[in-house]
Amino acid sequence: MNGLLHQIASGIASGAIYASVALALVMIYQATHHVNFAQGEMATLSTFVALTLIHAGVPFWGAFVLTILLSFALGVVVERILMRPMMNAPVLSSVGVFIGLLLVINALDGWIFGFTIKSFPSPFHAAHPLLGGYVSPHEIGETGLTVFVLLLVWLFFRYTTLGLAMRAAAYNPVSARLCGVRVNRMLGLGWGLAAAIGAAAGIMVAPVVFLDPNMMSGILLYAFAGALLGGIDNPLGAVIGGFVVGVLENLFGAYVVGTELKLTVALMIIVAVLLARPAGLFGRAVQSRV
């Protein structure tokens, strides 16, 4: 029973990370109908930047905020330079550009920051074991912070005018323009936001999995599984899907397939979703009457 609780708690902690990356993926997918295969690499780059700032003496939370802002800017720039020209290109072209971006950023990380595995400090410490010792202080803090970030994003989209305009631009760019929304600018903002969310996820996960250029490739896979499970066009679904995948990964890894095969759990989830319910748990065709 102890083991089970621990696995579930750990699963929720990892799930929070997958949920964030899944949200970033779904945001970009909704707006552009493209999957950002480079999402993980962008997050890794952000994490390296954060580590550099920390080593340079910037206090943790200062580095965190600064990195988030820089990542936002990176997202806006990438959208403007690489994605905007690919808007109307065939799917293969945009996939090629995304994969190309993945490779370039990965190579850049290795070249600038080195390939050796680095440790990343956690800002969460506790003098005594918390919550009965089932979860580490970092897991608690990371889950809390990530959920907080997700909540902020939700509030932003649901209740602010800018958030509404971004949603409109994603759902129906033509009509959005007819309301005076500058759709291209919204796309850039969406990319920036996705990059910022990814950066937060990267900084939160690095203390656990250690930082190297390939840190996020497994995580990206789990995020995909989560996004598909929740419904690739449903942000809330993606978040829930991310948490579910986290828990499933841990449970299956502990009791069924062993830790060596945890990545295949993601593959199995993806195949299962596609076989049973391709729209995901919460993805829905929008109800409409003609």
Partner 1 sequence: MPPLLEARGLTAGYGETDVLHGIDFAVEQGGVTALLGANGAGKTTALRALCGMIRRGGEIAFAGARIDRAATEDIVRRGVGHVPDGRGTFMELTVEENLRLGAYTRRDRAGVAADMARVFDYFPRLKERLRQQAGTLSGGEQQMLAIARALLVKPRLLLLDEPSFGLAPLIVRDIFHILRRINTEERMSILVVEQNASLALDLADHAYLLETGRIVVSGTAEAIRRDEAVRRSYLGY
Partner 2 sequence: MNANRMPPPRPGAPSGLSPAQALWMGAFLAVMVGLAFFADSYHLFQLTMVVVYAVSVLGMTVLTGYTGQISLGHGAFFAIGSYTTAILMANDNWPYWATLPVAALASALVGFLIGFPALRLGGLYLALTTFALAVSVPQILKVNALSDLTGGVQGLTMDKPDAPFGLPLTGDQWIYLFSLGVGCVVFLLAWNLTRGRTGRAMLAVREQPVAAEAMGVGLAALKTRTFAVSAMITGIGGALSAIAVQFVAPDSFNFFLSITLFVGLVVGGVDSIPGALFGGAFIEFIPNIANDISKAAPGAIYGAILIGFMFVLPRGVGGAVVGLIRRLRDRGGRTRRARTPAGE
Q: Which residues bind partner 1 (CB under 8 A)?
A: 161, 164-165, 167-168, 171-172, 174-183, 286-290
Q: Does 110 bind partner 2 (CB under 8 A)?
A: yes
Q: Which is nearer to partner 1, 166 or 196 (CB)?
A: 166
Q: Is 9 in the site for partner 2 (CB under 8 A)?
A: no
Burial code (b: 16+ CB inside 10 Å, e: under 16) for 22-41 equals bbbbbbbbbbbebbbbbbbb
Q: Choose the one of partner 1, partner 2, none that binds residue 65, judging by a C-beta under 5 to 8 angstroms depending on kind.
A: none
Pick 142 or 233: Cβ nearer partner 1: 233
Give the 3-state secondary structure of residue 120: coil
Contact between 153 and 193 under an 8 Å Cβ cutoff? The reply is: yes
What x-and-dash track marks residues 54-83 binding partner 2 by CB under 8 A? Answer: ----------------------------x-
Query: If contact means CB under 5 to 8 A according to the sort of partner, which of partner 2, partner 1, none does residue 52 touch?
Result: none
- Can you tell me the distance from the alpha carbon of 12 to that of 201, in angstroms, rounded to the nearest whole number? 14
Among partner 1, partner 2, none, what binds residue 224 when CB lies within 5 to 8 Å by partner kind?
partner 2
Among 4, 65, 151, 267, binds partner 2 (CB under 8 A): 267
Which letter, b or e, does each residue of 103-119 get, where b requires 16 or more Cβ atoms within 10 Å of its Cβ? Answer: eebbeebeeebeeeebe
The one segment of 124-132, 203-211, 242-250, 259-267 that binds partner 2 by CB under 8 A: 259-267
CA angle 209, 193, 185 (to 5 degrees): 150
Centroid of chain to Cα 47: 13
Chain positions 189 to 228 lying near partner 2, rule: CB under 8 A, are 217-218, 221, 224-225, 228
Question: Given the complex with partner 2, which of 106 and 250 has the nearer CB atom?
Answer: 106
**CB of residue 173 to partner 2, shortest distance in Å:** 13
> Do the Cβ atoms of 228 and 159 come closer than 8 Å?
no
The alpha-helical segments, DSSP class H, found in the chain are 2-32, 39-55, 60-78, 91-113, 137-159, 161-171, 173-178, 183-209, 216-230, 235-255, 262-276
| Distance in Å, CB of 113 to partner 2, minimum | 10
Describe the crossing of helices 2-32 and 216-230 by its angle, rounded to 10 degrees.
80
- What's the gap between Cα 10 and its chain centre? 18
Query: In this complex, which beta carbon is closest to partner 1, that of residue 127 or of residue 290?
Result: 290
Please select the residue that binds partner 2; options are 56, 57, 61, 260, rule is CB under 8 A.
260
Residues that bind partner 2 (CB under 8 A): 33, 35, 37, 82, 85-86, 89-97, 99-108, 110-111, 115, 217-218, 221, 224-225, 228, 232, 258, 260-264, 266-267, 270-271, 274-275, 278
